[in-house]
A and B are shown apart, each in its own frame.
Chain A
Amino acid sequence: MTSWFTALGLPFGWAWFIATIIDILLIALPLMLAVAMIIYADRKIWAAMALRKGPNVVGPFGLLQSFADGLKVFLQETIIPAAANKGLFLLAPIITFTVALIVWAVVPFQAGWALANINVGLLYVLAASSLGVYGIILAGWASNSKYPFYSAIRAAAQMVSYEVSIGFVLIAMVLWAGTFNLGGIVEGQKGHILGIFNAYGLNPLLFPMAVVFFISSLAETQRAPFDLTEAESELVAGYQTEYSSMAFALYWLGEYANVILMCTLNATLFWGGYLPPIDWAPLYYVPGILWLFAKILFFFFCFSWVKATVPRYRYDQLMRLGWKVFLPLSLFFVFLVSGYLMLTRVGI
């Protein structure tokens, strides 16, 4: 888009600046719309699984429910507890929301369509998602209240634990891909399985890693069965207990933006991203972004499915799964994958 603006006679710096701003808006605004619709979809899926109707009053089929909720929250009064640390209390939801947005900069939506096509794309994703924990810790501490604080401690331990195994899973995948660039990772999956399927996930050495990554991404986004940070039977509403109005809405938006992001990462890293599932020429006439959306929606359906069917973990079970099951397993697969690659690609 920069070239289009330079063709209009703008100097390169300004053209780049304006084009980047437009690109950011082109990602962020549809993302917000997607979050609103995905909250609606989430509620409809749970309702269907519980044989209920779900939201069905506002708009046709209740489609406008999320917007009505947004308007309601917007009109509410922001209450800040007297004992809270005011600055940090307001900063925390902003951090969560911002972090949920900035990761999208490196996601490739179609061949060559990424806001920032950087070499260290995957590391950037890890760096940005490791910031997400601050929104929760700060909320818990700044609220100066018991339940949010417990929740913050749980969240910190949980996210740090699962990031370790996510890191090893990604190392196994990156070893195979040979690049940290997300676009390069997607292109590397083209015809990866026998020249037919476009997915690392179907590779027998990487399939277990894809499963571990899916489960870890549930833990990373604090979705059921790992939603111990907002376990309503123990912690009221967890770190969100003291929040109201727009601050609360920012948590909601950030949380769902993170969920969509994790679905996108699942699709991009292991299941071919914007490539069609099968490497067959006619399928490439469908724009890649539609394939990516289809995969995101599939993973989101799985997220909702899990939430609707699986009971919550106990905290020690959560820690056991992260440290005693996923960590050794992913470490083992790092060795296995690198050993296999040494054998086949480099030779002895």
Chain B
Amino acid sequence: MIQAIAFYLFAFVVIASAVMVIFSRNPVHSVLWLILAFFNAAGLMLIAGAEFIAMLLVIVYVGAVAVLFLFVVMMLNIDFAELRAGVARYAAVGLALAVALVAEIIIAVSAWKVGGIELGRRIAATDESIPNIEAVGRLLYSRYLFAFEAAGLILLVAMIGAIVLTYRHRAGVKPQNISAQINRRSKDAVRMVDAPVGKGVEL
């Protein structure tokens, strides 16, 4: 009963906030609605008994990805009038994409054979005594080991690629050299002199 209420609440909020992502006029509001959608999707995962995925969804998407979205959108100065000006030009492409997506959704939903998800129970056939994380870990590091490591490798390549593409070596910049600063001793830098009157000091 409570699980059903929670399920419909989360599901309703996910769909409503997803709709608001598209319809809100302010892009920052859009990102915030998106965050709400992520958050409630995590709630749905919890109800389905996948607490590990739920927590990862919040940590990765809400805690890191959406922060970067927000970061970028907040700093961009988006001109709404200019954005709307192009609507007529892109309408045909957009419409085609929308039709394709709707068709995919219809096909996916009509192929629904899974049956109702039993709320609060795990679907995957693992022993109930094994915690969720352990079950995921066992699968990832045995059956899907190569796929998992390949995914890691691809991400690493993408990360290095991003660094290579954005790194600029600028000449004439004097960065702080921390080890040189720490290793500098007073005898290298300071000299005590008795300056004779009227003559000064040779440097």
Contact = CB atoms under 8 A, between A and B. Distances in A.
A153 B51 CA distance: 31
A127 B59 contact: yes
Contacts, number: 63
B67 A133 contact: yes
Contact of A120 (B35, B52, B71): B52
Interface of B: 2, 28, 32, 35, 51-52, 55-56, 58-59, 62-64, 67-68, 70-71, 74-75, 131-133, 176, 178
A118 B52 CA distance: 11
Interface in A305-336: 316, 320
A123 B71 contact: no
Given A119-B131, A120-B51, A180-B133, A127 B71 contact: no
A134 B61 CA distance: 13
Interface of A: 13, 88, 118-120, 123-124, 126-127, 130-131, 133-134, 137-138, 141, 149, 152-153, 156, 160, 163, 179-180, 316, 320
B28 to A, nearest CB: 6
A130 B63 contact: yes
A320 B175 CA distance: 12
Contact of A141 (B28, B52, B133): B28
Nearest to A152: B74
Given A119-B51, A120-B51, A120-B132, A126 B59 contact: yes
A153 B131 CA distance: 38
| Chief secondary structure at chain B's binding surface | helix
Given A120-B132, A123-B56, A130 B51 contact: no
Contacts of B51: 118-120
- Specify which of A13, A149, A156 lies most central, judged by the most chain B CB atoms within 10 Å of its CB: A156
Contact of B63 (A153, A163, A316, A320): A163
B58 A137 contact: no
Contacts of B63: 126-127, 130-131, 133, 160, 163
A124 B43 CA distance: 12
B28 A131 contact: no
Contacts of B56: 123
B58 A127 contact: yes
Given A13-B2, A120-B132, A127-B62, 14 more contacts: A88-B32, A119-B131, A120-B55, A123-B59, A124-B55, A126-B55, A133-B67, A137-B71, A141-B70, A141-B74, A160-B67, A179-B131, A180-B133, A316-B176
B67 A123 contact: no
A158 to B, nearest CB: 11
- Specify which of B28, B35, B68 lies most central, judged by the most chain A CB atoms within 10 Å of its CB: B28
Contact of A119 (B2, B58, B74, B133): B133
A218 B52 CA distance: 27
Contacts of A149: 74
Contacts of A126: 55, 59, 63
A134 B35 contact: yes
23 contacts: A119-B131, A119-B132, A119-B133, A120-B132, A120-B133, A123-B59, A124-B55, A126-B63, A127-B55, A130-B58, A130-B63, A131-B63, A133-B63, A134-B67, A137-B74, A141-B28, A141-B70, A149-B74, A153-B71, A156-B67, A156-B71, A160-B63, A180-B131
A137 to B, nearest CB: 6
